[in-house]
């Protein structure tokens, strides 16, 4: 299934208007769209290896222009548009980023955050909009966007364009590893940067991805070891069950575990504990505190775990045949 989807993406990347599509995706991704342009850059460069420089330029220009629009939204229309975009990505308190600038190093701290967001998979759009909101220096903003987004897109295009066959094999054979690393990185970013504390079930859902990363780093090849594939199928089946159960709790389909609930104390006692201990109450598994386009992380992980199980089962069946 994944192989077929991969091949279709390669075919679409060879379309005569693919560069225009890439430029548009890069543009809107910088201030609202959730899917990064890398998804198009990789197959486009595989399909047209000799045009890797043009592809990287199109992605970079589109992304920087989109970042400037994000800056403008934050500068002029933060309350009208910016806050709604933040809400789409599950960020209810947009002021926390501004607080970070004033409390953790000012301009240097913001430059660091912006650079990390520009080069990594974290939500770049939240930083572009907030840069306008805090009236960050526009010249520095554009330079950082060009350097970080440009280096990221040029690096990807260069590797694919110059080492195409090798990189193609890596993409085909290391997809699960990439998914696992991205998932863990995103979870840590949401927890420690966006400051959304996970509940116990959220922590449990990270374990399968950590196992997949461990297996890949110690040298096992998923596609040539049936026992490893069987282990991954079992692990991610359990992951789908746990995340599905978590999704059910969020939507009141199931009763939550006693270890997840924090409602055993009345409100007065909760307030007293918070004041006396100076600590946050444990996160309730019923509360979907962070959402992407209105979808909770538990729902996303349920879908992702099921897809990984399907891919692994099909791969195992293919290897046996």
- Beta bridge partners, 296, equal 291
| Pair 73, 159 in one domain | yes
Highest averaged pLDDT of the listed ranges 93-97, 148-152, 158-162? 148-152
Tokens for 72, please give them.
């403008």
Specify the pLDDT at position 92.
65
| Pair 120, 83 in one domain | yes
| Pair 208, 297 in one domain | yes
Residue 270 DSSP SS3: helix
Q: What is the rounded distance in angstroms from the CA atom of residue 227 to the CA atom of residue 308?
A: 16
Q: Into how many domains does the chain fold?
A: 2
Percentage of the residues of the chain whose pLDDT score is greater than 70: 67
- pLDDT tens, 214-234? 876 665 555 456 777 788 888
Highest averaged pLDDT of the listed ranges 109-123, 156-170, 183-197, 221-235? 183-197
Q: What is the rounded distance in angstroms from the CA atom of residue 98 to the CA atom of residue 259?
A: 35
CATH number at residue 309: 1.20.1550.10
pLDDT, average across residues 178-193: 82
pLDDT, average across residues 233-239: 88
Residue 109 DSSP SS3: helix
| Pair 88, 234 in one domain | no
The CA-atom distances, in angstroms, between 84 and each of 65, 75, 94 are 21, 14, 10
The CA-atom distances, in angstroms, between 15 and each of 11, 23, 321 are 7, 14, 34
| Pair 52, 74 in one domain | yes
Q: Give the structural domain span for 95.
A: 1-173
The CA-atom distances, in angstroms, between 80 and each of 72, 86, 91, 303 are 12, 11, 15, 33
| Pair 89, 195 in one domain | no
Q: Which of 183, 182, 196 is nearest to 290 (CA)?
A: 196
Q: Which of 313, 210, 230, 320 is nearest to 1 (CA)?
A: 313
- The region of weakest confidence among 47-51, 74-78, 151-155, 222-226 is 222-226
| Pair 149, 216 in one domain | no
Q: Which of 202, 209, 204, 208 is nearest to 288 (CA)?
A: 202
| Pair 108, 201 in one domain | no
Q: Which residue has the higher pLDDT, 7 or 77?
A: 77
Specify the pLDDT at position 278.
46
Specify the pLDDT at position 56.
94
| Pair 272, 165 in one domain | no
Q: What is the rounded distance in angstroms from the CA atom of residue 216 to the CA atom of residue 178?
A: 10
Q: What is the rounded distance in angstroms from the CA atom of residue 312 to the CA atom of residue 318?
A: 10
Highest averaged pLDDT of the listed ranges 48-62, 100-114, 173-187? 48-62
């Amino acid at each position: 299934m994944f192989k077929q989807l991969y091949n279709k993406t390669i075919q679409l990347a060879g379309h005569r208007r693919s560069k225009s599509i890439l430029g548009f995706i890069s543009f809107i991704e910088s201030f609202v769209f959730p899917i990064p342009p890398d998804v198009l850059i990789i197959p486009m460069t595989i399909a047209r290896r000799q045009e890797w420089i043009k592809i990287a330029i199109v992605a970079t220009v589109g992304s920087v222009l989109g970042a400037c629009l994000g800056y403008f939204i934050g500068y002029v229309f933060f309350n009208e548009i910016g806050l709604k975009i933040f809400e789409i990505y599950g960020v209810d308190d947009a002021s926390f980023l501004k607080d970070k600038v004033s409390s953790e190093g000012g301009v240097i701290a913001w430059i660091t955050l912006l650079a990390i967001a520009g080069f990594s998979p974290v939500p770049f759009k939240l930083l572009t909009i907030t840069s306008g909101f805090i009236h960050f220096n526009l010249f520095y903003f554009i330079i950082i966007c060009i350097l970080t987004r440009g280096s990221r897109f040029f690096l990807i295009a260069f590797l694919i364009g110059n080492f195409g066959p090798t990189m193609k094999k890596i993409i085909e054979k290391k997809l699960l590893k990439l998914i696992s690393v991205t998932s863990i990185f995103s979870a840590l970013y949401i927890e420690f940067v966006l400051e959304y504390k996970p509940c116990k079930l959220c922590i449990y859902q990270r374990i399968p991805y950590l196992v997949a990363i461990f297996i890949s780093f110690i040298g096992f090849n998923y596609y040539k070891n049936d026992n490893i594939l069987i282990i991954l199928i079992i692990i991610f089946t359990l992951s789908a069950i746990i995340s599905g159960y978590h999704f059910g709790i969020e939507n009141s389909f199931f009763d939550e575990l006693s270890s997840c609930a924090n409602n055993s104390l009345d409100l007065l006692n909760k307030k007293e504990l918070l004041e006396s201990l100076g600590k946050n109450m444990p996160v309730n598994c019923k509360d979907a505190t962070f959402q992407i386009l209105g979808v909770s992380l538990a729902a996303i992980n349920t879908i992702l775990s099921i897809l990984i199980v399907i891919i692994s089962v099909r791969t195992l069946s293919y290897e046996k045949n």
